[in-house]
Chains A and B, each alone.
Chain A
Amino acid sequence: MSREEWRGFGVFIEQDEGVVEETSLEILGRIRELADKYNIKITSFVLTDDINRIIDKIRYYGSDEIVYAENSLFKTYLSDVFSTALYRLVSKYRPRYLLLPATRNSRDLAGRLAIMLRTCLLAHVISIDIDPETMRMNAAVPGFGGNIAAVCECVTMPEMATVSPGVFTPKIRKDIEPKLINESDLTKDLKTSMRKISRTSVARPDISRSEKIVVAGAGCIKDLELIKRFAKIIGAEYAVTRPVADAGLAPRDLQVGSTGISLKSKLVIVLGASGAPHFVSGIRDCGTVVSVNIDPDAPIKDFSDLFVVGDLYDIVKKLIDRLGG
């Protein structure tokens, strides 16, 4: 029952040990709007070791059909088997538009899949539209440190893109009952040439969805503990700029900016960060921006609602004293 033409939306629902990647649901939120407008079908693709573990977390987000394959190899991401499995599903269902979250694992997957399908791939897009004349997907790809975006389209099919986390909002759609299709047989013969030796991961707060954030820049390196303490006292999450992560003082998951995470918090307090373009693009969508910097001419000034010129350690200590730390 292979479909002849490339038609409809396809979304890859990323999961890891039963935890669904929020970005996949965010993609569904956006493309459901486009699907309703242009009367396009949405097919979600799921690779999992156990569909029952995740089906309730993904069922009512706007998919018209959910195509899944169950295999014990799909418990956590494996580059070779995931790419082959998704290649087979996509080749059978032939979605015209194929979207994946721009997470590490799905970027790995999408990069392979695009070559296997001999098609294009737009990277970590921040908008998705359809050109009503050509029906081609138009998506904005940020580049050059986040200052500039290129609106791109694909001239081959499927038209693929990875989508940046935190750009769209998931929407529950109880009115659409998706058809569940089991394609496990298509992946039965898969074998991996990779072997996972160990895995160390800690559940961290997802800072792209936090309401209050304190960002430690390079100027905080002398005493990051103080900054963390301050964040805790005001009930904010702690994040860092790229130089702090580059120095190995914080994990990349806490790095804000175009090569890290984009924030949507109501308040962000930026301490000791000069305001490099790749960083400020990550706080563009925040409500209120407060920054503290010793340099009165630091570029962060122009991206702040309140810019404090002064010694950040002095200010932070005073704040901790006042707020009862």
Chain B
Amino acid sequence: MSPEPVYIVTMKVVPKTEEIRFDPVTKTVDRSKATNEINPADKNALEEALKLKDKYGGKVIVLSMGPPFFEPFLRTALAMGADDAILISDKALAGSDAYVTSMVLAKGIQKIGGATLVLCGEESSDGSTGQVPPGIATWLGYSLATFVSKIISLDLENKKVVVRRTIKGGYEDIDLPLPAVLAIELGINTPRFPDFRRKRWAEKEYKMTIWNIHDLGLKPEEVGLTGSPSRVKTLIELKPPERMRKIITDPDQAVEEIIKIIKSIK
């Protein structure tokens, strides 16, 4: 008999990209006016985990690395159906790049006792490196499928998972041994709404586990800015080229003008 499956969903809270402003003088990003949300692809990963739980049983654990303000977002994940949420939070983690982030999350997964499946969003909407899922798989020696658009089946007895992954011009169905890391594509499902009764439990009763880097056996110099092998030298604004901005409201005139432009392109 196989033990109960454990699905670990990694989660990040991100500012809404359209609300971020760039100050070209100080060359800094102003996130203060942007509202935060659970990274959209991570919500899709959570929904996949909850669907697996509905079908095969087991436990869904949300694992996140970030500042204390992530907490209420993790409670939303609990209200949606996750059984547990763990936040890895430590001042020393500030400035961590994808290398460090994947290492820290891998340590967290080890501390939980490993997983049957680790489900991640394919990429975050702010950093969008897509490096964390392959990183976690490599640190842990798990198998990996990125750009997953569908989890076709999970065979707990033979320790296999079959997934569909997007490739250039189409898709491929592949069979992977468990444990595995799956990077879930944005928008492959409709995440469920938080359950009203679970919401009360998640917000009022649930005591969230918070780990710092010492809990994971890490030293401050191994994480954060100092532990990260990549450095940001400067930020630049990518200005779009100046456009003519000619405006037409009359449909017939618009049609004439568009035809003229189409014909001018050789």
A residues within 8 A CB of B169?
201-204, 251, 253
Instruction: Give Cα distance in the complex from A156 to B231, angstroms.
Output: 10
Which residues of the other chain, A, contact B252 by a CB distance below 8 angstroms? 318
Tell me if A142 is interfacial: C-beta within 8 Å of chain B: yes
Bin the interface of chain B by size: 35 or more
Contact in complex: B167, A148 (CB < 8 Å): no
**Hey, which chain A residues are within 8 Å of B172, CB to CB?**
76, 196-201
Contact flag A193-B143 (CB < 8 Å), given A104-B166, A284-B241:
yes
Bound CA span A94–B126, Å:
32
Is B70 at the interface (CB under 8 A from chain A)? Answer: no
Q: List the A side residues contacting B18 at CB < 8 Å.
A: 145, 276-277
Partner of B144, one of A79, A276, A303: A79
A151 touches B170 (CB 8 A): no
Chain A CB within 8 A of B215 CB = no
Q: How far is the CA of A83 from the CA of B137 in the complex (A)?
A: 12
CA gap between A259 and B186 in the complex, in Å: 10
Given the interface pairs A104-B147, A148-B29, the reply to whether A119 lies near B173 with Cβ below 8 Å is no
Among A119, A308, A314, the residue within 8 A (CB) of B248 is: A308
Chain A residues positioned under 8 Å from B243 (CB to CB): 289, 302-305
Inter-chain contacts of B22 with A (CB < 8 A): 144, 147-148
Give the contacting residue for A148; candidates B98, B125, B133, B236; CB below 8 A. Answer: B236
> Is B246 touching A306 in the complex (CB atoms < 8 A)?
yes
Contact yes or no, A104 B248, CB < 8 A: no
Any chain B CB within 8 A of the CB of A239?
no
B259 and A146 form a contact (CB under 8 A): no
Interface segment, A26-34, A53-61, A106-114?
A: A106-114
In the complex the two chains form, is A199's CB within 8 Å of B167's CB?
Answer: yes
Q: How far is the CB of A163 from chain B (nearest CB, A)?
A: 13
**CB of A322 closer than 8 Å to a CB of B:** yes
Kindly state the separation between the CA atoms of A225 and B123 in the bound complex, as whole angstroms: 31
Pick the residue among A111, A149, A289 that contacts B131 (CB under 8 A).
A111
User: Is residue A288 contacting chain B, with contact meaning CB distance below 8 A?
Assistant: yes
Asked if B251 is at the interface of the complex by the 8 Å CB criterion, the answer is yes
For window 194-219 of A, CB contacts with B under 8 Å fall at: 194-204, 211-212
Using a CB-CB cutoff of 8 Å, which residues 211-234 of chain B contact chain A? 228-234
User: In the complex, which of the residues B129, B147, B173 has the most CB atoms of chain A within 10 Å of its own CB atom?
Assistant: B129
Residues of A303-321 at the interface with B, using a CB-CB cut-off of 8 Å, are: 303-311, 314-315, 318-319
Rounded to whole angstroms, the CA-CA distance of A145 and B15 in the bound complex is 11
Per-residue contact bits, chain A 63-101, to B (CB 8 Å; 1 contact, 0 not): 000000000000011011001000000000000000000
With contact pairs A115-B99, A142-B238, A148-B238 given, residues A305 and B246 touching in the complex (Cβ less than 8 Å): yes
Chain A to chain B contacts (Cβ below 8 Å), 30 pairs? A105-B167, A108-B134, A115-B102, A115-B134, A116-B138, A120-B99, A144-B29, A145-B20, A147-B17, A147-B20, A151-B233, A152-B231, A153-B230, A156-B229, A193-B177, A194-B177, A201-B172, A251-B166, A278-B17, A281-B238, A284-B241, A301-B247, A303-B240, A304-B245, A305-B244, A305-B246, A306-B257, A310-B251, A310-B254, A315-B251
For the complex of A and B, list the 6 residue pairs with the smallest distance between their C-beta atoms, beginning with the closest. A111-B134, A201-B170, A120-B229, A145-B17, A123-B129, A246-B187
Question: Which residues of B are at the interface with A, using a C-beta cutoff of 8 A?
Answer: 17-18, 20, 22, 29, 97-99, 102-103, 123, 125-135, 137-139, 143-147, 162, 166-177, 185-187, 228-238, 240-241, 243-249, 251-252, 254-255, 257-259, 261-262, 265
